[in-house]
Amino acid sequence: MNGTDRREFLKGTVWMGLAAVAAGCTHERTFGFSGAPMQGFAMKPIKKVRVACIGVGKRGMSALRRISLVPGTEVVAIADLFQDRVDRERKWLKDHGKKVPTLTFADPEGYKRICESDEVDVVYNVTPWYMHAPVCKYAMEHGKVALTDVPGCLTLDECWQLVETSERTQIPCMMLENCCYGDEEMMMLNMVKSGILGEIVHGEAAYIHDQRNLQYSSDRYHSLQGDKDAFAAGRVGWTLAYYSKYSGNQYPTHGLGPVAKYMDINRGDNFDFLVSLESKQAGYRHYARELFTDFRRDLEVRQGDMNLSLIRTKLGRSILLELATSLPRPYSRLNLVSGTKGTAMGFPDFRVALERKTGDGKAHEFLDEAEMKELKGKYRHPIWKVAGDVAAKVGGHGGMDFIMDLRWSYCLQNGLPLDNDVYDLAAWSSMVELTRASVENRSRPVDCPDFTRGAWKTANGFTIDGIDLRKLPGDFSGAKRDEEVDKTARSEGLKS
């Protein structure tokens, strides 16, 4: 075997190994099923939802304060790595007339003792990425509803662990994808379901967010504990630790979640395969060398400046998925859905183009201001119609965070299925490893696992559900905008 042939053989061997991990995982897990499917699963109504907040950094702090304003919901436990954070939130609750939790911990194992407590119904997990799966798994194993920040997990193995644990324990596990609850995203879902856009064919999703200042800031996140590299110094964001080590789309769900709902992924359609291509890394390097003289100047980052992935679904639809965090670009999630009768595109600018009659040429231009006003009045989601004012009052990414928390609590209080289930968490989060596998193998196609094991073919699609405020105890009289919540949203580059 000559040198060229040997290189090609070894390259092919590496690819086949990764492809087996990415595509074969579905078949390997099919026979390991135990428990019952979780699609459409609903728990018995919980009269008062007792919530444990695990991780109260910036996003966790915002979550705790929002949750405390939802009628019928109470923060009963707090865990973090740092005592000052726990003390800060206990003080905030006291100052705002809320019951102050006594079940609090400031150590890496504190979340376990909280999960083991009979005083908790829901574990709200806002920890660093590497802790999302372990905390959720432990919570479900101890009978607690698991809610987690994005992405829900980082590897295919973790995806399957959460699916199998939820099925075995019959406990829901939901990813807290706030962008699924934006006013525009929910309006577009309503439009898709109404049929105004016709048969859906294509979607575009992204997380385009210049994070250079955030990633090199010492006060955005505490460093990864126990990490022996430069990040242990706490002078850069812990997410940069992942960007320094891995390629692929490591933050796929803000854009993908809403588009997956428009297409009823896991509920009538399913991801089939993808290809992913990534540019070189220059943005972080340029930024660091222009501004720093310490170790950050020569810190190597592996994540390319632009990751572009193309996903094809089982029904033949296409999705463009993008990630860009290291270039000077305005924030965007693209949020586009296109069908046989028209196209809607969202954040940052909501626009719609429609054919009134096939071939009339009307879709060559977007609707004018008056037409958009009429369309928004007709298709605004029922939840935003009844709770939009209080959501705007509370804040948090334009109110979407509060709508999300209000909705899951409402579902638990009234014995309804959560909007997104563990299969959605797994399918959307699986893009982290699947895109990396494709990027590292010259953008070869990678099969997407079917976490529903075929149930997507008969499952009911996503629905347009509302909230009956009369079914919530109390009112929103204590709801008001919190300065720290606003500050967090602004630092993340989103509307608030």
Cβ 279 vs Cβ 306: under 8 Å: yes
At 459 the pLDDT is 94
At 482 the pLDDT is 63
CATH number for the domain running over 49-177: 3.40.50.720
Residue 252 CA to chain centroid, in angstroms?
8
For the chain, residues with pLDDT lower than 70 are 1-34, 218-236, 477-496
- 341, two tokens: 């009768």
Outline which parts of the chain fall under CATH 3.30.360.10.
180-457
pLDDT, tens digit, for every residue of 213-229? 888 875 544 444 434 44
Outline which parts of the chain fall under CATH 3.40.50.720.
49-177
At 36 the pLDDT is 81
Q: Does domain 180-457 have CATH number 3.30.360.10?
A: yes
pLDDT, tens digit, for every residue of 319-376? 999 999 999 999 999 999 999 999 999 978 899 999 988 888 888 999 999 999 999 9
Residue 215 Ramachandran class (φ > 0 left, ψ -120 to 50 alpha, else beta): alpha
Q: What residues contact 414, with CB distance under 8 A and at least 6 apart?
A: 45, 471
At 342 the pLDDT is 97
At 30 the pLDDT is 46
- 245, two tokens: 């080590």
At 486 the pLDDT is 56
At 457 the pLDDT is 97
Q: What is the pTM of this model?
A: 0.90
CA proximity to 486, closest of 128, 61, 53, 52:
61
Q: Could you give the CA distance from residue 465 to residue 449 in angstroms, rounded to a whole number? A: 28
Cβ 46 vs Cβ 388: under 8 Å: no
At 217 the pLDDT is 75
What burial letters (b/e) apply to 207-241, b meaning 16+ CB within 10 Å? bbbbbbebbbeeebbbbbeeeeebbeeebbbbbbb
Q: How far, in Å, are 11, 20, 433 from residue 17 at the CA level?
A: 10, 5, 14
